[in-house]
Structure 1
Amino acid sequence: MRCTYCLGLNIQKLIDHAEVEFSGWYVPKISFYQHYPSIHELEKSADEGCDLCVLMIHAFKTSRTDDHRYYAREDSDLLSAIKEWVETSSIRISIQANHIYTATPLEEAQMLDLLQISAGEYQETSSDPDESYLQEPPTVFLQLLTPLDRPLKLGRYDIGRFKTDVDLGSDSNVAIAKNWIDTCAHHHRGCPSPDPTSFPTRVLDVGTVEDANCSLLIPKTGFISRYVALSHCWGGPIENVLLKKTLAEFQTGIDWDDLKANFQDAVIITRSLGLRYLWIDSLCIVQDDRDDWAVESTKMADLYRNAFVTISATSSPVSSHGIFQTPIEVENPGPPAVDICLSSDNRTTVSVAVFSQGDKSKVEDLRWLYIYSPLCMRGWCLQESVLSPRILHYGVSKIYWKCSRGFQSADGALPGNLFPENEFYPALSSVLYSDLARDGDSSTIVPLNKRMLMDEFYELVNQYTKRKLSYWVDKLPAFSGLAQKMHTAIGGTYLAGIWSKDIRRGLSWQKEMTWAKHALTYQAPSWSWATTNDLVNFTNPDSFEDDENLTLVESDVQLANENNPYGAVRSGYIIVRGLTMELWRTLGTISQTELESTTDFGSAQWDEPIFQGDSHGLTMRHICEVVDAETGEQSFFVEGINAEYRDMLEATVAGLDDIESKSYTVLLLSKASPTEEDQREGGHCIILEKQTEENVYRRVGLLSLSGYPLTRFKGWKTETLKLI
C-alpha cells in the first residue's frame, strides 16, 4: 500500500527540483517535492500502511545525533522532539549526493544516492538581525540502492549505490575483490608490477580450500612467488606465536583451532583469492628472539612493498575478533526496502532503504575508517599502508580497495568525502616502486621530485604522530621502513628521525595540540620529534633553503641494534653552529601600556608546561626584546604574560609566586624573508635549556619570530652548541 504523495514521487521529479536549487548537504528553501503538511500526518500514513512513509518515520524515530541538537535531547528521539518543539513540520523531500562536500553545486555531483527528508522550514535563530542566522529544519536521509549487476543511470547521473552483502566472506564479496585485484594487476599501468622482487624469510603455506590446516614455510634460496601480507592489530598478547621452540613444529603444521580469528579469516581470504602464501608477523617472526626481530624488522619495507596484496583487518581491534564481522543492521534491520520509479516514463525502479541504526552519520565509509578504525589508530599500520601497493580493506559491513589509481568501495561509492584525503604520496611512490615498474617500463613511475619527497616525509611524520603504539619504545622502529626507503633518494645521514640534509627543517617540529611532552623513558634525543608521544607538525618549509643560518658540524647516534640503522636508539647528539640569543621565561606581566610601546615579536611554543595545570595560553603570552637603554644593543628576549591572564592564573593556581623565571638559549634555524603573501620579516628558532656540561643543551620548544627585522639578527651571538 502506498499513499498518494508517495505514489507521485519519482527520481526525475527530484532531479528537476535539484536543477532549480541545489547545494551539497543543504536543505533547499524553494524547490523540493512537497509531501505531507505535518509530521503527524506522515506518521498517520505510516500507521495506515504506506511503506515509504514507514521508512521516513523510522528514520526520524531512530535519529538522535548531534546534527539535531536543537531539537532532540539525550532522552528523546528526533520524531518526538519534532512533535514537541517544531511548530511547522511540513514534510519536504529532495535528492542529495553522498560523495560531494558541503555546499558543492549540482554540476559536480555524478551520483545521486540519498533522499533528504526535512520536517519544517528554516528558522531565524534571533530577533536581532546582526546575530541571527537561518537554522535548517530537522533532516534525515534514506539511501538509494541498486543491485550490483544492474547499475542505473538517469540522464548524466548514476542513481543509487550498489547493494552489498554484509557477509564479508561471501562469494559476491570475493568476486568483487578478485575483480579489483585483476584489474590492477593487468590493466593499471600506473601501478607497480604484481610480481615481487623478493620473498619473505618465512611465510604461511595456507594450501588450498580443501586443506584443514596450514604450515610455516622457510623457502629455499632464490624461491619467489606472489604472496599476501596481513596488516592487523594485536590488541594484546597472542598465545600461539612463533617461538624458538615451536619453529620446527610450525613447519610440520599449525592446527586450525590454534589460529586466532583474524588469522583464520586471513587464511580463508588468501585461499579464496587463489593464492597460497601468507605473511603474518606473529607467526613468521620468532617472537622470543631479539636478533631475529631486529633482522626481520629491517625487511618490513620490502615485505609490504612486494606483497601481491595486503589484507587490512581495518575494523578488528584484537587478533581474536575476526575480520569477518556481523554488523548491527543484520540483527536490527529496520523496515524492508521499497521501490520507487526513476520517472513517470521510465518504470525501472530503485530501492529506498534505511541506514544502519537509522542514521546516515553512522554508516560506514572508508574515510571514517581511516580516521577512527582500530587499525588506522595504530602506529605500525601507517608504514604498512603506505608501503603496500595494493590493499584490500575489511570494514564492518563492506570491503574496500586501495592502489595508486585510487580507492574503491564495494557499493560503488565515488571519489569525494567518502574516501580519505592525503593518502597518496607520488614522490615516495617513485622511490618505492622504481624497480617494480611493469616490464621494466619506468615511464609508469613519476620522476623523483626531492622537494616533494621531503614534504611527504614531514606529512607522514605528522600522520604517524596521530597514532598510538602499544610499546612506545617502537617509536622509531615502527617508522623505520619508510625512512629506509627514502634514505637513498634523500642522501646524507638519518639521525633518529631527521635528516642531515635537511637539518634546519627537521629540527623545526612543533606541538600541534597543547603540549609535546618528552617521554620519560628514553626514545630519542630531545631535538628529534621521536622524543615525544604527542602530535607534532613542522613549520613552513620556504625559509629553510639558506644553510648559512645553521650549520651541522658533527653528529652521532648510538643504535639500540646495529642491524637496524633506522630503528631504536640508545643516545645521540648533534653539534651545530649558529646565531643565539637569550630568552627568559617568566610569569611576570606585560601591561597593555607596555605592549603598545614594545613590539610583540611572536610566540614561544614550549614542549612542556612551566607548572602543573598550565594551559598553553598563546594569545595571552608575548615575546618582547629587551634593549640596553644606553647602547641600544639587544640584550635578551622575555616571554611575559598579559596582566589579565596573570589574574586568572592567580585565581586557579596555588603557589604561582614561587615559580621562578628561567633563562634559555634561542638558536636560529632560519630567517623568514618577506613574501607577496606575508611582508613580515622574522625567523624560526628552537629553544634550548643548558645542561650541567658546558655548551650542552636540550631542546624544550620552538620560537617563531614575526615582524622581527632581519637586520636585528646582526646583534645575535654566533656559538657552537652540542644538543642531546
Structure 2
Amino acid sequence: METHLCAACSAINPRQPYHGPERLKSGNGFITRIFYSHSDSLDHITISAEVGQCDMCYLFLQAMRNPDAVDPQWEYSSELFDEFSDPENANTAAFGVSVKDMTYFEEDMVSGDIDNPEGPVLISITFRNRRIDEAESRCIDVAVHWTDPVTVTRIISHDLILVSSLPEKLIQILQMRDITSDNSTGSPFVTGLIKEWMRTCDEEHEICRKRRAASKRRLPTRVISVENNETNPKLICPPANTFEDYVCLSHCWGRSQHFKTETTSLEDRMASIAFSAMPRTFQDVVTITRNIGMKHLWIDSLCIVQDSEEDWNRESAKMGRIYHDASITIFAEGADSDDGGCFVSHNSREKRLCRSPMFDEIISLFTSRAQSPSYIQAQGQWRLPLHQRGWVLQEQILSFRSLNYDLWEASWRCPGFQGCECVPEGFLRVSFTHQDSKMEKVLSDQWAQIVEKFAPRKLTCSKDKLPALGGIAKEFSQYWQTDYLAGLWRHQLREHLAWSVPVRTHSSCVRQTSRPPEFRAPSWSWASIDTNRLRMQSMRGYLS
C-alpha cells in the first residue's frame, strides 16, 4: 500500500504551524488544535489529486466536496443493536489521549489568521478525548479549511481522521492491499480483513470466547453443504444433534421469490443446487462462506420447504435459535432482492488509509504515544441501514457475529467490537452483564425500543407479526421469568399498555394506521394494528 504524496503534502513541517497550538474547552474536558498551511487554493488540491495522483490531496478533495459532513465533537449515542453502555460506569482515566504541553519558539510560529478569506488552504489537527466506544487510535481529527471562490467565505470540512498505533497484524494486511484488484467488497483484501476480524474475535475477545463456549451450535434440520469448491452446493439433512459451525444468510427475497425449496423440488435440492442457477445474492454468500473456511450454510428460502405448512411452522419456530447459534450471519443489506447480490464495486482510493509520515512526528510531539506509522483516511461513521423487513430485526439482534454488506462497504460486528473497511481496527463495545443492578431497567427500555423499531417494518404475511419477534422474546424470557402476552410482558403491563400511535409525526411522514382483517392479537396489544409509527410510552414515574 504505497502512498504517493505531492510536494505540498510532503513539505508540512510539524514544528512550523500556521496557527496554534490552541487549547479549547469541549464538554467536560479540553481539546488541542493546531493548524498547518497546505497550498494556496482549491485548484492546487484538485490538480494534485486528479492529475498528480496525490493520495492525500485526493482525500482532502473528497472531504471538501462534503463540507461540514461530520462534527468532530459529536457525542456517542447507543444504537438500538448495541449492548447498553453507561459512561458513569467506565474507568474514565482509561479513556482519552494524553496531550503534552507544547511550547514553540517564537521564531518558529507563523501567526496566521485561520478565518482570513485570502488565506491558504489549511489542515487542522485536533487532539481530543476518545469516546467510550472508540479505540485510542481514532481520537485525532483532521479538518480542511479553505475559501469558497464564489461566496469568498471560509469553509470547513470534518470528514477526515488521523489514525495511528494500529495493530501490527492489521498494518501488514493494509500494506499488502493492491488498489488495482481491490475494486469491490468481494476482493481478496476484504476477505483477508474478514479473516483477521474472525481471528481477533476468536483469540482476543474474552466475551466472544465465552459466548462461543456457551453456544451449542447445533446444525439446523437442513443446511446447504458448500464444502467442495469444485462441485455445486447441495441441501443435506445432518444427523440429529450434529454440532458444527455454520453460516446464516439474512436477505430480502424480492417480489419474485423464484428460487426456493418446495415439495416438488426438495429431492432435486438434495442432489445438487446448480451454482449458476442461483440468484446473485446466493452465489455471493456461497463464495463468502467458502472463503472464510466454513462448510455449512443456512438460507431460509432453501432450507425450509416453503409450500409445506407443517414444515414451515416447525422450522420457523426455530429461526431465533438458528440465528443465535450460527457462527456468523451474513446480511445482504444493500440488496432489495435475491438478484441484488452482496458485493458492490467501489473506488478503493476513497476508502484506503493514506500513509502520512510527516504526521508521525506531530503525534509524538503532542501525545505520550511513541512515534508510529500514521494514516489519514475518510472519517468512519458506524451505521446500519434501516431495514424494512420485519424478520430482519430478530436476525440482527440474535446473531452472535454479523458480516454486513451494504452499498458502501463490508463491516463486522461481534460482542467484542464492530469494525468496517474504513475502520478496520474496529470500535470497542461496552456492555452490561445480566447480574448488573441496572439490567432490569436496561432490558425494559430495550424491549420498548425493539417494539418501536419493529412495528413499522414490513411482513409478507401479516400473521407473522408476533412470530417474527418470537426468538427475541425467548431470550428476554430467560431474564424475566414471567408470562409473555401478545407482545407485552405481565410484569410491565401497567407501563406498556400505554403504547400509542403519535397524533403528530414529522412533516415528511404521513401517519398510516390500520387493523388487519383477520385476528392477530387482542386489541390492547400493539401487535393488533399495522402502523408506520409506534410509541411505547413509559408510565413508570406515574404508576409507582
Question: Would the TM-score normalized by the shorter structure come out above 0.5?
Answer: yes
Superposition pairs for residues 383-422 of structure 1, below 5 Å? 383-412=394-423
Q: Residue in 2 aligned with 1:190?
A: 207
User: In the TM superposition, what is the alpha-carbon distance from 1:304 to its structure 2 partner?
Assistant: 1.0
Summarize deviations over 1:127-169 as a string: whole Å, max 9, x none. Answer: xxxxxxxx973436456578985878xxxxxx99x99945333
Deviation of residue 307 (structure 1)? Answer: 1.0
When residues 67 and 289 of structure 1 are mapped into structure 2, their CA distance, relative to the original with a 3 A threshold, is: same
Match of 1:137 in 2: 155
Deviation of 1:392 after TM superposition, in Å, equals 1.9
Contact 2:130/2:139, CA 8 A, preserved across alignment: no
Runs of 5+ unmatched residues, structure 1? 69-85, 122-134, 153-158, 431-444, 544-669, 673-724
The answer on whether the counterparts of 1:166 and 1:397 sit within 8 Å (CA) in structure 2 is: no
> 5 Å matches for 1:101-500?
110-111=137-138, 115-120=142-147, 137-139=155-157, 141=159, 165-191=182-208, 192-193=211-212, 196=216, 198-209=218-229, 211-327=230-346, 329=347, 340-342=357-359, 365-367=381-383, 370-372=384-386, 376-412=387-423, 426=432, 449-465=439-455, 467-500=457-490
Looking at structure 2, the residues matched to 99 and 318 of structure 1 have their Cα atoms a distance apart, in angstroms, of: 42
Distance 1:236 1:471, change over 3 A: same
Greater Cα offset, 295-304 or 193-202: 193-202
Give the 5 Å matches for 1:45-124.
Answer: 51=54, 55=58, 58-59=61-62, 62-63=65-66, 88=118, 90-96=120-126, 110-111=137-138, 115-120=142-147
Work out which of the residue numbers 505, 515, 520 in structure 2 matches 1:519.
515
Q: Is the 8 A contact 1:18 1:95 kept in 2?
A: no
- The 3 A distance-change label for structure 1 pair 19 and 197 is same
Question: What is the CA–CA distance in structure 2 between the aligned matches of 1:108 and 1:17, rounded to whole Å?
Answer: 26
Q: 1:451 to 1:516 in 2, by over 3 A?
A: farther
* Equivalent AA in structure 1 for residue 216 of structure 2: P
Distance 1:51 1:186, change over 3 A: closer
The answer as to whether partners of 1:59 and 1:140 remain within 8 angstroms in 2 is no
Rounded Cα–Cα distance in structure 2 between residues aligned with 1:278 and 1:53: 41
Relative to structure 2, which stretch is displaced further, 185-194 or 311-320? 185-194
User: SS state of the match for residue 513, structure 2?
Assistant: coil
C-alpha distance 89-482 of structure 1, shift in aligned 2 (>3 A): same
Deviation, structure 1 residue 20: 3.9
1:539 partnered with 2:537:
yes
Picking from 32, 35, 41, the partner of 2:35 is 32
Q: Aligned with 2:397: secondary structure?
A: helix
1:58, distance to aligned residue in structure 2 (A): 3.8
- How far residue 511 of structure 1 moved from its aligned partner, in angstroms, is 3.0
Larger % of strand: which? 1
Q: 1:275 offset after TM fit, Å?
A: 1.7
Separation in 1 of the partners of 2:353 and 2:415?
Answer: 38
**Distance in 2 (alpha carbons) for counterparts of 1:11 and 1:466:** 53
Report Cα offsets for 1:448-476 as digits up to 9, x if no partner.
94454333222221222354334444322
Change (3 A) 1:267 1:31: closer
3-state DSSP of counterpart to 2:336: coil
For the structure 1 residues 518 and 500, does the alpha-carbon distance in structure 2 shift closer, same or farther, using more than 3 Å as the test?
farther
Q: After TM superposition, give the deviation of residue 40 of structure 1 in Å.
A: 6.5
Which structure is higher in RCO with an 8 Å CA cutoff and minimum separation 6? Answer: 2
Give the % identical residues.
26
Q: Is the 8 A contact 2:34 2:126 kept in 1?
A: no
Change beyond 3 A, Cα 1:182–1:91 = closer
CA contact (8 A) 2:390 2:459 kept: yes
Equivalents in 1 of 2:351, 2:405: separation in Å? 24
Deviations 1:639-668 (A, max 9, x none): xxxxxxxxxxxxxxxxxxxxxxxxxxxxxx
Against the structure 1 CA distance between its residues 390 and 150, is the aligned structure 2 distance closer, same or farther, given a 3 Å change threshold? closer
Question: SS state of the match for residue 445, structure 2?
Answer: helix
Alignment of 1:682-701 (within 5 A): none
Give CA-to-partner distance per residue, 1:279-300, whole Å, 9 cap, x none. Answer: 1000001111122211111101
* 1:246-286 CA distance string (max 9 Å, x none): 11111111111121111111111212222211110000011
2:41 and 2:163 map into 1 onto residues whose CA distance is 27
Q: Equivalents in 2 of 1:108, 1:490: separation in Å?
A: 34
Contact 1:342–1:348 (8 Å) recurs in 2 = no
CA distance in 1, matches of 2:36, 2:404: 38
**Correspondence list, 1:642-681, <5 A:** 671=543
Q: Which amino acid aligns with 2:329?
A: T
Q: Tell me the distance in 1 between the aligned counterparts of 2:419 and 2:10.
A: 35
Q: Kindly provide the amino acid, as one letter, of the partner of residue 497 in structure 1.
A: G
Letter in 2 for 1:524: A
Structure 1 distance, partners of 2:119, 2:186, is 44
Query: Does the 8 A contact of 2:64 with 2:144 survive in 1?
Result: no
Which structure: larger Rg?
1
Report the residue type matching 1:398 in the other structure.
E
Aligned residues: 465
Task: State TM-score, norm by structure 1.
Answer: 0.54
Question: RMSD of the alignment, in Å?
Answer: 4.6
AA of the residue aligned to 1:538? M
Q: Following TM superposition, by how much is the alpha carbon of 1:119 offset from its aligned partner in structure 2, in angstroms?
A: 1.6
* Aligned-partner Cα distance in 2 for 1:43–1:326: 24
Partners in 1 of 2:53 and 2:282 — Cα distance?
47
Could you tell me which runs of 5 or more consecutive residues in structure 2 were left unpaired when the two chains were aligned.
72-115, 365-370, 506-510
User: Which segment drifts farther, 253-262 or 91-100?
Assistant: 91-100
